[in-house]
A and B are shown apart, each in its own frame.
Chain A
Amino acid sequence: MITDYLHPTSAEVAFSTLTSLGSRARLVGGGTDLSLHPPADVDTLIDLSTAGLGGIDRDGGGITIGATTTLTEMLEYRPLGDVWSGVVHTMLARVASPLHRNAASIGGHLARGRLSDVIPVMLALDAAVRFFDGSPQQMPLVEFYATRRNRKPLVVTSVRIPSDGGRAAFRKFARTTYDLAILNVACAARFKGDIVTSARIVVGERPSLAVPLTHAAGLLVGEILTKESIAHAATVASDTIEVRSDPRGSAEYRRHLTEVLVRRCLTEIQEGQS
């Protein structure tokens, strides 16, 4: 039962409150998830909307998105459509409905770390997460999840997407356009001429937290994207992905989807490059 709802005025105050209350407290981004499913042992919600964590800034190296920025604000920020083949906008347009995107925050997505179309794309773009855990920190989002840092007490303050070129694509498979994904895939690649210099293949809703498939992506580096090289990477991705069954889909189906969606993402990148 929620008995207290706080409005801290900074990330520092929010973190201090969070650590003093321990497992009794949760941070609120947009509130869409927590208000429906508050954990039974939580009695205090700490709303970050007053903590000064909104806004989007662009500089020469990337785009920094404040944690309380809504998905709609991201979708309406045109420079995000100019980087990485506009994949962030492509993805956001497929997240739930405008009614949810108007409330849901990017920081809430990243902190929750599941049931997300946003996270695979952010991982594919080598995004970095900034947070406060007693002092300001920054680390690659990949490391944030791989080291389970997201499970520690902290306040996500922003996410930074590098804008140094490259192409990306996103695919999601769901029962309806409105539904959670049965599986989603984000791929990104940088090129020198036609040669791939770096690549990421990320698979989400396995249904566990999204994971980069480094071996499959590594097969593309030094190669030209062709029907054959794409098919090979997609097959390896499907062979190596760890998936499991849940009410939305079987492990076998998810493995099949991995091959199909990785191939489609890489083909889109290839077609955009040529």
Chain B
Amino acid sequence: MNLTVNGAAFEIDVSPSESLLDLLRSLGFKGVKNGCDNGDCGACAVLIDGRAITSCDYPAAAANGKDIITVEGLAKDGELHPIQAAFLDTGGVQCGFCTPGMMLAALDLLTRVPDPSDDQIREALRGNLCRCTGYVKPVEAVRTAAARMRKVTHG
């Protein structure tokens, strides 16, 4: 099957029983984390055609022809994506395990809602469970990223 990951085209054979999570990790995208392997924790979130999904309960074969973004695809030309920079600057990374999934859920939100309320941010991150149990800093990070991205867009 064919798919694009972070802009790179792949033509590969996949097992019909393989999850997208396992496929992406086998291709070297280890930023896609295996947390619960049950669709519950969001650590494996990636973007498929611009929308964040849990890749552990998404059949790899269903991704045929899709455009996938993992956390490895956020930084460009050595520059962190504003969402990555904001997570670093605000302390939103914490232990880091849930962070890739949170960043991609945040990117899905900020692409559609440039100036989200805290409620909208919390709703967008609802499927991303933090093992450190700290959600205040990630919410602050998304709020900060939103402001920076609006500034870049509008000058």
Q: Which residues of A contact B (CB under 8 A)?
A: 1-5, 7, 28, 31-36, 38, 44-45, 47, 49, 72, 93, 96-100, 102-103, 177-178
- Our pick among B48, B58, B127 for the contact of A98 (Cβ within 8 Å) is B127
Contact A36 B38 (CB under 8 A): yes
Q: Shortest Cβ distance from A178 into chain B, in angstroms? A: 6
Q: Does B39 contact A (CB under 8 A)?
A: yes
Q: Do most interface residues of chain A lie in helix, strand or loop, or is the interface mixed?
A: loop
Can you list 10 A-B pairs, Cβ within 8 angstroms, ordered by A?
Answer: A5-B16, A32-B57, A34-B59, A45-B59, A47-B61, A49-B62, A99-B105, A102-B51, A102-B52, A102-B53
Chain B hits for A38, CB < 8 A? 17
Q: Shortest Cβ distance from A103 into chain B, in angstroms? A: 5
Q: Complex Cα distance A31/B58, Å? A: 6
Contact A31 B126 (CB under 8 A): no
Contact B126 A98 (CB under 8 A): yes
Q: Does B140 contact A (CB under 8 A)?
A: no
Contact B16 A2 (CB under 8 A): yes
Contact A32 B16 (CB under 8 A): no
Q: Complex Cα distance A89/B84, Å? A: 32
- Between A and B, how many residue pairs show CB distances below 8 Å? 81
Chain A hits for B17, CB < 8 A? 1-3, 38
Q: Shortest Cβ distance from B23 into chain A, in angstroms? A: 12
Q: Does B45 contact A (CB under 8 A)?
A: yes
Chain A hits for B105, CB < 8 A? 98-99
Q: Which of A1, A33, A36, A97 neighbours the largest number of chain B CB atoms within 10 Å of its CB?
A: A97
Contact A103 B127 (CB under 8 A): no
Q: Which of B16, B64, B108 neighbours the largest number of chain A CB atoms within 10 Å of its CB?
A: B16
Bitwise, B26-67 to A at CB < 8 A (1) or not (0) is 000000000000110010010010011110111101101000
Q: Do most interface residues of chain B lie in helix, strand or loop, or is the interface mixed?
A: mixed
Q: Shortest Cβ distance from B55 into chain A, in angstroms? A: 10
Q: Shortest Cβ distance from A118 into chain B, in angstroms? A: 17
Q: Does B123 contact A (CB under 8 A)?
A: yes
Q: Shortest Cβ distance from A74 into chain B, in angstroms? A: 13
Chain A hits for B16, CB < 8 A? 2-5, 44-45
Chain B hits for A35, CB < 8 A? 19, 57-59
- Our pick among B38, B39, B59, B127 for the contact of A28 (Cβ within 8 Å) is B59
Q: Complex Cα distance A72/B109, Å? A: 12
Contact A98 B52 (CB under 8 A): yes
Q: Complex Cα distance A97/B128, Å? A: 9
> Do A103 and B19 form a contact, CB below 8 Å, given A32-B39, A47-B59?
no
Contact B62 A47 (CB under 8 A): yes
Q: Does B124 contact A (CB under 8 A)?
A: yes
Q: Complex Cα distance A179/B104, Å? A: 22
Q: Closest chain A residue to B104 by CB distance?
A: A99
Q: Which of A31, A47, A177 neighbours the largest number of chain B CB atoms within 10 Å of its CB?
A: A31
- Our pick among B58, B64, B126 for the contact of A103 (Cβ within 8 Å) is B58
Contact A98 B123 (CB under 8 A): yes
B5-27 contacts to A (CB < 8 Å): 15-17, 19
Bitwise, B74-102 to A at CB < 8 A (1) or not (0) is 00000000000000000000000000000
> Do A177 and B53 form a contact, CB below 8 Å, given A7-B64, A28-B62, A47-B61?
no
Q: Complex Cα distance A250/B147, Å? A: 47
